[in-house]
């Protein structure tokens, strides 16, 4: 055997025990470990198979919310040009019994609208800072708006899109709110529960057939071990499109600014 070949063979042979020890050590440190027995999967059990199926809902809960906002202009069809305070005033004008007069349910909201001259989110104005995000998938921003329903602890959450130059409300929800998030084509609202250690999480997702945000998830979750907002789900695949930079309040880009 040539000297160079024999030296190379001896070097490889000397390395083999070291490699074996290293591989064993790696296996000990990162090997698979048992997580315990796995519960046996059980299929769903059909109850009362002879019960006739219902043909219509028992209660009207407003599954599809779509309404043109009258009296609010959308210059250039750009939702960024819409005045959020004017949008809330239009809703108040459409429901005077709930906002006007000392006996109205939300009389304080109606009264405090006079404090919105400086814009939403400032001073005593009940209108919160607006958020802009394409929730409908048409390539244009939509408007997510909130305002306080006073007196009380309710917050109104609304989503508006623009269709044929008109402002259209495609989601309406009033509740005691502990957090609101935008994720992909969805709006997620967290609300406190009467049960200690739990909260409600409701998710609305854009439905192109109904041309509205539909309530796709309604869950009751533990709060002491709550993780960040969920990733993509089977009912809402567009959640994977979320981007932290898209959730800034009143976000505009130079090309979209009015």
pLDDT tens across 144-156, in order?
A: 999 999 999 999 9
For the chain, the average pLDDT equals 81
**Tokens found for residue 204:** 């609305």
pLDDT tens across 17-26, in order?
A: 444 444 454 5
Residue written as token pair 């259209």: 168
**Tokens found for residue 194:** 């009467």
pLDDT at position 84 is 97
193 vs 61, residue with greater confidence: 193
Find, among 192, 191, 189, the residue nearest to 204 by Cα: 189
């Amino acid at each position: 055997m040539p000297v160079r070949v024999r030296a190379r063979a001896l070097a490889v042979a000397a390395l083999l025990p070291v490699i074996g020890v290293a591989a064993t050590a790696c296996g000990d440190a990162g090997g698979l470990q048992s997580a315990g027995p796995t519960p046996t999967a059980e299929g769903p059990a059909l109850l009362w198979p002879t019960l006739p199926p219902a043909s219509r809902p028992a209660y009207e809960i407003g599954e599809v919310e779509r309404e043109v906002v009258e009296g609010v202009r959308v210059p250039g069809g750009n939702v960024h040009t819409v005045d959020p305070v004017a949008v809330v005033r239009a809703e108040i004008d459409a429901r005077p019994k709930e906002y006007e007069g000392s006996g109205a349910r939300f009389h304080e909201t109606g009264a405090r609208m006079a404090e919105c001259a400086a814009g939403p989110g400032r001073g005593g104005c009940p209108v919160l800072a607006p958020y802009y995000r394409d929730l409908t998938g048409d390539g244009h921003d939509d408007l997510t708006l909130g305002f306080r329903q006073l007196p009380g602890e309710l917050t109104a959450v609304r989503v508006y899109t623009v269709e044929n130059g008109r402002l259209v409300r495609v989601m309406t929800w009033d509740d005691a709110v502990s957090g609101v998030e935008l994720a992909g084509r969805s709006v997620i609202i967290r609300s406190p529960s009467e049960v200690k250690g739990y909260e409600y999480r409701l998710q609305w997702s854009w439905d192109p057939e109904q041309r509205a945000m539909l309530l796709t998830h309604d869950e009751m979750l533990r709060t002491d071990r709550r993780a960040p907002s969920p990733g993509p789900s089977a009912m809402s695949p567009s959640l994977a499109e979320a981007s932290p930079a898209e959730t800034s309040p009143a976000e505009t880009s130079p090309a979209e600014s009015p």
